[in-house]
């Protein structure tokens, strides 16, 4: 009689899960009936759309504003890997400890690290502050991991399995935990109504995922994101001094990719906390240069130009006719090791 598995089986008696035919075994391990565990999986990314999909196969989840991470649980320990492939295990000790408590021998969980406010909304700036700011390596306190997919489980590669079945296994594994690792719940209802409700509650947006899709790395229409407020990453190419603003920082000057060059897209002067302004000005002073990284024809007083190294996450409402951001607000700095993608102008 076969031995009972130490953790939850891939197939349960009450639910038949569909998947692809198992790959051929590794000839160097002829007696091993398990799939080799990937060292890293390039994450699946959502395609930005203006409105929710009408296809009934798509399921909705709240869009989390944080750091995309993968938790690798192995017999030798737990690793936390960023979207760009960097090891951030030491930065999330509470999540690591919680991962060790899961009833599984090996797994790869896909999700997002976040800090939630009193209303349960993710706050990217608060998450960064727990890490010590951009590039900070402090152990994050108060952050949680919202798990929304499982790619590998107890020796089985699940990437060719449809999303609905992967989510079923993930829910069995994570369950109704209310600690550092939590399950991303689906939202039931019509897509348009879900999106409107999310915006009314001050959420960033909604992710819609094709329940029949396999896990495909890169940006595809299997996952679609619809944002309540536009938010993108831009280079900071300078700042405007101010004798009245917090920390002496009046506004940040921003740029986006346009072909092989950078194009000035306006400034942002709101959303800073005092400590943010002080740290930003100090960092930009170290990057100061006399030659702007963009063609600038505007008129601004007391500008300090900087090398395009810092990447800021900016919320905005729209674009002006001359290609500038409208009603922009600063959210925080992106870390290059998070594989931050600077906005590209078509």
**Residues with catalytic roles:** 63
H or E segment to which residue 83 belongs: none
Report whether 37 contacts 74 (CB < 8 A): yes
- Distance of alpha carbon 107 from the chain centroid: 20
What are the beta bridge partners of residue 313?
233, 332
Q: Quick one: tokens of 334?
A: 């992106």
| Coil, strand or helix at 210 | strand
User: Which tokens in the block code for residue 89?
Assistant: 């295990």
Report the alpha-carbon distance of residue 214 to residue 159 in Å, rounded. 6
Residue with tokens 């502050």: 129
Sequence-ordered list of residues with C-beta below 8 angstroms from that of 51, at least 6 positions apart, any chain: 192, 195, 226
Q: Quote the CA–CA distance of 85 and 312 in Å, as a whole number.
A: 20
Rounded-to-integer distance, Cα 321 and Cα 323, Å: 6
């Amino acid at each position: 009689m076969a031995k009972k598995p130490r953790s939850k089986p891939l197939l349960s008696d009450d639910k038949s899960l569909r998947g692809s035919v198992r790959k051929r075994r590794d000839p160097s391990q002829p007696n091993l009936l398990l799939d080799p565990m990937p060292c890293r999986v390039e994450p699946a990314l959502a395609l930005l759309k203006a409105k929710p999909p009408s296809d009934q196969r798509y399921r909705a989840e709240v869009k989390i504003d944080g750091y995309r991470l993968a938790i690798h649980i192995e017999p030798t320990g737990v690793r936390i890997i960023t979207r760009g492939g960097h090891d951030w295990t030491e930065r999330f000790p509470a999540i690591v400890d919680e991962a060790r408590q899961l009833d599984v021998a090996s797994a790869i969980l896909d999700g997002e690290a976040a800090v939630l406010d009193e209303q349960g909304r993710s706050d990217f700036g608060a998450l960064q502050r727990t890490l010590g700011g951009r590039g900070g390596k402090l152990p994050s306190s108060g952050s949680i991991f919202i798990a929304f997919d499982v790619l590998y489980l107890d020796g089985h590669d699940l990437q060719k399995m449809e999303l609905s079945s992967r989510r079923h296994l993930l829910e069995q594994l994570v369950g109704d935990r209310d600690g550092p690792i939590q399950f991303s719940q689906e939202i039931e209802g019509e897509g348009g109504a879900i999106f409107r409700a999310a915006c009314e509650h001050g959420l960033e947006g909604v992710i819609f995922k094709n329940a029949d899709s396999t896990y495909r790395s890169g940006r595809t229409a299997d996952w679609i994101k619809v944002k309540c407020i536009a938010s993108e990453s831009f280079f900071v190419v300078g700042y405007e001094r101010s004798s009245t603003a917090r920390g002496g920082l009046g506004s940040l000057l921003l740029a986006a990719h346009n072909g092989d060059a950078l194009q000035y897209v306006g400034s942002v002067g709101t959303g800073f906390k005092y400590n943010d302004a002080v740290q930003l000005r100090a960092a930009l002073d170290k990057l100061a240069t006399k030659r702007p990284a963009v063609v600038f024809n505007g008129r601004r007083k007391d500008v300090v130009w900087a090398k395009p190294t810092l990447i800021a996450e900016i919320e905005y409402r729209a674009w002006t006719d001359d290609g500038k951001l409208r009603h922009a607000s600063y959210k925080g700095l992106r870390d290059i090791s998070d594989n931050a993608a600077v906005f590209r102008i078509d």
